[in-house]
Structure 1
Amino acid sequence: MTAEPHNGPKHRSIKTHQSDSTSSHARGHETMEDDDLRQWQKYKQNVKLKVLEEVQDHLSEILDRTLSESVQSSFHVKSTANGKTAKKLSSRSQRMDDGKVFIERASLLDELFEISHIRTIYHMLVLEFDLLFFAFGKLGTVTWSWGVMFLYTLCVPYYTLLFWSSYYHNFPSKVGLSLVIGLILSAIQTSVLGLFPIYMVVHHQLPPASRFIVILEQIRFLMKTYSFIRETGPAIIKNTPKKGESPKFPTFSSYLFFLFCPTLIYRESYPRNSHIRWNYVGVTVGKILGCLFYGYFILVRLCIPVFRPETNQPFSKRTMVLAVFHSILPGIMLLLLCFFAFLHCWLNLFGELLRFADRMFYKDWWNSTSFANYYRTWNVVVHDWLYYYGYRDFLWLSNRRFRTAAMLSVFIVSAVVHEYALAMGFGFFYPVMFLLFAVFGVAFNFTMNDKRQSPAFNVIMWMCLFIGQGVQVCLYCQEWYAQIHCPRTGDGVLELLMPRSWSCSYQK
């Protein structure tokens, strides 16, 4: 009882002291936050004032210059006019009488673009086309190379086959004649359509887009030539002419039409439209140019800023994953652009100009629930060639006993051709496309087959396309800059085949 009154005031004083210290600590913390807030606001205000001062100073200079030029021009007009008449005329009537006065001056936007902040906005919105001009450079060499390949494809296979057909049925050794003619034609094909384009691309160091033009045309001429020989040769062998008659052979005009029509399967005649829709031609050309510009915009704004050397970071799993995810959006956009620009617009343009009526260049691949159906419907033009001259001929040679091997052979051929086109176009060997086709493509073809009908598999297919395109764009862009900043030091086989991005390390 006596201890409670004795300790009571002391206990209350301690509580009072604690509460005062707590409140003072809180007030101190709030004061620090207020100071930080005031400093931040003061910093923003200073930045705003600096920007406004810079813009205001530049605008004041422009305004002063414009006013001084206006005063000088007005003084010049007044001095040349009659004194008494000039005093009576107003400024408006003076301009009407004397006409427009031309002086040396720049456009207002050119003046504004000298301000760093406005110039930054300009670079964000406006594209420079230096990269586009570089990519399509040396078009004279490209045109000359294409002309040589076209003239060869137009004349040599046609007249060689015509010569063979005229002697085949009367020659004592038909197999010997066919073997000799085949070997000679194969040697010439290898030289002109095989080695010549490679020499032109490598020797003249063509830029990327020009490289792709030469290489893709090389592949197209080879596929067209093979189809013509494959379709015409067996027909000549089966149809033995009567005595005194020459063997039936395709006309030169039908072969010339085949070289330009949008198909890789040769026929002597195709279904034709009655007329050309020139409005459709003009709109299609505009779409192709729009796709070209849009693809260039994607590369410049979404790919180059991520992979250029100034933004390069040391390689790690984290940076690799981030780079792949950065590349998914531009990758799938470029895939859709290539599909629309080439398989729809480009092939329909030539189909319309040549009145080619069969326009089924693709099917509804976007609704595919299996990769097997996707491969069949994505590019019907190439699929038809691979099916008739790869898969079906393989089954015919094997007496229909090795369907799986026939399918694998088609995948391998397609993967090799795709990788060859990319390697020659980019100028380096990096077998990303080959692995996606020959490994993952084969695996998905057998696992996600035509039995998969659920819409969920369509979602899986699109997810695989997104990731696959992101991986391709990421790895090829990294290798492109690595080849530039870490060039090869030798010409060994390992040096040529080893990707430079695996060992190249460059920083700003």
Structure 2
Amino acid sequence: MSPNSHSTNTITQNGYKKKTTEEKIHPKSQTLREKQFVIRNSVLTDLFEKVPSVVTIQSVFGATTISLFLSIILKDYLEIGEVTLGIYLIRAAFRKLHIAALLWICYLLVTCSIFYVFQLWAVVRLKLITNRKFIKIWDRSWSAALLVFYILCFRTTSTLVEYFKLPEASSAIILFEQIRLVMKIHAFVRYNAERIVKYKPHTEQELTWAKFNQYVYFLFAPVLLYRDEYPRTKAIRWDFVLARMGEVIGVIVYQCFIYHRFIFPSYKDFGIRKYTWVEVLAPALAENSVPGVLILLAGFYVTLHSVQNLFAELLRFGDRQFYKDWWTSLSLAEYFRTWNIVVQDWLYAHVYWDVYQLTNSKIAGKLTVFLISVVVHEWVMTYIFGFFYPALSYSFLTAVIVSFIKIPKFRFSNLIFWYLITFGSGIINSLCTLEYYARVNQPASDMSSWKHYFLPRWYTCDCIV
């Protein structure tokens, strides 16, 4: 089916078809709301190109950032005779990048081989489609094998990160890429397996077969829902590509500067000397809130705008709604729905909907989405930093609980939303930094003990007066 085969007046702002009257009256008869891909820019791209006021705000932010950098450079030079902008963090975090690159190539080759493994399953199934008993055994065996493959992917990746002792940025690249490729594999298999299963031989029904070049394009395209074809733009704008590449480099430098100048100094001596509770809590509750939200905004911009648009432009991928205007949210629930449309679409189609079909329970579907999100986020954080510290999960759980509270929307709802985001960002960055320096400056005596991984070191090292 062509992605543009439906009339645009039946498509919602999220890119999904509107519910029919029958689906509204009988919710249990609903079918999967299929994502409709259309050519459109990212929200910020349109704002920067078409709204002069937003361009002015962008210029003001850029000018104040440059002024901040220059003032700190001048201050450091006059006081200590040298300039340190946190560039050392880039060198430290991206060490062993060549190993990460080699591992990524191996992951990509394995992912490409899945196409031919899937073809094996499909060809055998189609040839023996009349043998229902064999088909049932065949399908269940391969479903189990696929599940084992997913588990092995996560286990192998965590083992390799530990074995090569990859630093933070290099390990993050491998961990996130492995998650992305697993999500791609599942989307491809789920979408095409349904074609095979629903195919009826000896009828006029035509079986559409995915091609390898379509699969490879999907692996690199900034989308997690598989389709044989996507809307494509006419040409690559190389000035646009260079601008996005410059943003990626600039944001990395910017984030390292924020950590080096504002967040790390609060706790870098923790474990070397005794801290008071005021010294521990003041940065977390107040001082690091603004730097924390700057890290959050920079991370959003580079991940969901710069990188996604970079690959979209190189591949001429047309639908660039990677996020919505989440910054206008009036609640955390609205924020969760609009922050990351790419992952949101995948979770809806391949987690929430499948669980809903099995259990006929929307609560079960939402709970499964939440649990998978928490587990995957904590798995990533654990192997990036080398220890388990669920500060992100606690914050995420709190945010989800708050999002279920029905709060009337009023004039200052967006202000309250931004305060919660700012406060939570400061808490997360502060607690993770505190735990990191506690483990570096006061390592546990028994590094092999389970307590070393699961108990907060900042609390057990007796470093607080």
TM-score range, shorter chain: 0.7 to 0.9
What residue is the counterpart of 1:436 in the other structure? Answer: 395
Q: Structure 1: how far apart are the matches of 2:156 and 2:271?
A: 39
Partner of 1:12: none
Deviations 1:112-162 (A, max 9, x none): xxxx99563543x5435322111100112101111111110111x211111
1:453 Cα deviation from its structure 2 partner: 3.0
Aligned letter for 1:502? Answer: Y
Cα pair 2:232 2:316 within 8 Å, conserved:
yes
| Aligned residues between the structures | 384
Give 3-state SS (helix, strand or coil) of 2:412's partner. Answer: helix
Within the candidate set 310, 321, 344, 2:281 is matched to 321
The CA deviation at 1:279 is 0.7
Distance in 2 of aligned mates of 1:481 and 1:454: 42
1:424 aligned partner:
383
Distance (Å, rounded) in 2 between the aligned partners of 1:117 and 1:216: 36
In the TM superposition, residue 181 of structure 1 has moved relative to its aligned partner by 2.3
Q: Corresponding residue for 1:88?
A: none
How far residue 315 of structure 1 moved from its aligned partner, in angstroms, is 4.6
1:224 partner letter: K
Please name the residue that 1:295 is paired with: 255
SS of 1:174's partner is helix
- Kindly indicate whether residue 124 of structure 2 is the aligned counterpart of residue 164 of structure 1: no
Q: Counterparts of 1:245 and 1:290 in 2: how far apart (Å)?
A: 53
Match of 1:332 in 2: 293
Q: 3-state SS of the aligned residue for 2:312? A: helix
Compared with structure 1, are the counterparts of its residues 398 and 281 closer, same or farther at alpha carbon in structure 2 (3 Å cutoff)? same
Q: Pairwise mapping of residues 191-210 of structure 1 onto structure 2 (< 5 A)?
A: 191=152, 193-210=153-170
Q: Give the counterpart of 1:217 among 177, 182, 188.
A: 177
Q: Deviations over 1:28-84 (max 9, x none)?
A: xxxxxxxxxxxxxxxxxxxxxxxxxxxxxxxxxxxxxxxxxxxxxxxxxxxxxxxxx
Tell which deviates more after alignment, 371-380 or 402-411. Answer: 402-411
d(CA) in 1 for partners of 2:89, 2:136 = 54
Distance 1:153 1:335 in 2: 31
The answer to whether the 8 Å contact 1:327/1:471 transfers is yes
1:130-141 → structure 2 map (5 Å cutoff):
130-141=88-99
Using the TM superposition, name which of 244-253 and 420-429 deviates more: 244-253
1:500 is the counterpart of 2:460: no
Instruction: Provide the alpha-carbon RMSD of the alignment.
Output: 2.3
Out of 326, 330, 351, the residue aligned to residue 312 of structure 2 is 351
Which residue of the partner structure matches residue 372 of structure 1? 333
Residue by residue over 1:183-220, the C-alpha shift from the partner in whole angstroms, topping out at 9 and shown as x without a partner, is 334334433x2222111110111111111011001111
Separation in 1 of the partners of 2:202 and 2:294? 59
**Residue number in structure 1 paired with 2:427:** 471
Evaluate the alpha carbon distance shift between residue 318 and residue 117 of structure 1 in structure 2; reply closer, same or farther with a 3 A threshold.
closer
Q: Identify the residue that residue 404 of structure 2 maps to in structure 1.
A: 446
Deviation at residue 234 of structure 1 after TM alignment: 0.8
3-state SS in 2 of match to 1:169? helix
Letter in 1 for 2:224: L
The alpha-carbon deviation at position 456 of structure 1 amounts to 1.7
In structure 2, what is the equivalent of residue 279 of structure 1?
239
Find the aligned partners of 1:317 and 1:448 in 2 and give their Cα distance.
35
Q: Please, which of 96, 100, 109 is the counterpart of residue 151 of structure 1?
A: 109
Equivalent residue, structure 2, for 1:233: 193
Q: Residue 264 of structure 1: SS of its match in structure 2?
A: coil
Give how far 1:448 is off: 4.5
Higher helix share: 1
CA distance in 2, matches of 1:161, 1:458: 47
Greater CA drift, 160-169 or 208-217: 160-169
* Higher gyration radius (CA): 1
Cα distance in 1 for residues equivalent to 2:329 and 2:435: 32
Distance 1:128 1:323 in 2: 19
Q: What percent of counterpart residues are identical?
A: 33
C-alpha spacing 1:241/1:159, structure 2 compared with 1 (3 Å):
farther
Q: Does the CA contact (< 8 Å) of 1:305 and 1:311 recur in 2?
A: no
- Residues 169 and 240 of structure 1 are in contact (CA less than 8 Å); yes or no, is this contact kept in structure 2? no
Instruction: Give 2:137's match in structure 1, choosing from 169, 176, 194.
Output: 176
Counterpart for residue 415 of structure 1: 374
For structure 1, the 5+ residue unaligned runs are: 1-115
1:289-334 CA distance string (max 9 Å, x none): 1111111110111112211117976454422331212211211000
Counterpart contact for 1:485–1:506, Cα < 8 Å: no
Residue 392 (structure 1) aligned with residue 353 (structure 2): yes
Residue 442 of structure 1: CA displacement?
2.2
Q: How far apart, CA to CA, are the structure 1 residues paired with 2:362 and 2:452?
A: 38
Distance change (3 Å), C-alpha of 1:466 and 1:312: farther
Query: Residue 118 and residue 323 in structure 1: after superposition, are their counterparts in 2 closer, same or farther (change >3 A)?
Result: closer
Cα–Cα, structure 1 residues 121 and 467, in superposed 2: closer, same or farther, change >3 Å?
Answer: same
In 2, Cα distance between equivalents of 1:434 and 1:119: 43
Contact 2:270 2:434 in 1 (8 A): no
CA contact (8 A) 2:321 2:341 kept: yes
- What SS does structure 1 have at the residue aligned with 2:444? coil
How far 1:409 moved relative to its partner? 2.0
Give distance in 1, aligned partners of 2:276 and 2:265.
19
Distance 1:271 1:374, change over 3 A: same
8 Å Cα contact 2:270-2:463 kept in structure 1: no
Work out whether residues 434 and 458 of structure 2, in 8 Å CA contact, stay in contact via their aligned partners in 1.
yes
